[in-house]
Structure 1
Amino acid sequence: MSASVLGLLTGLVLGIAGAFGGFGAFLIVAVLGALGWLAGRALEGKLDLSQLTGRDRR
Structure 2
Amino acid sequence: MSRATVGLIAGMALGFAAYFGGFWAFLLVAALGAVGWVVGSILQGDLDVSGLVRPRERR
> Unaligned 5+ residue runs, structure 2?
none
Q: Aligned with 2:30: secondary structure?
A: helix
The structure with higher relative contact order (CA 8 Å, sep 6+) is 1
Higher alpha-carbon Rg: 2
Name whichever structure is richer in helix by fraction: 1
Structure 2 length as normaliser, TM-score? Answer: 0.56
Identity across matched positions, percent: 53
- With normalisation by structure 1, the TM-score equals 0.57
- The count of residues paired between Structure 1 and Structure 2 equals 43
2:40 is aligned to: 40
The Cα RMSD (Å) is 2.7
Q: Unaligned stretches of 5+ in structure 1? A: none
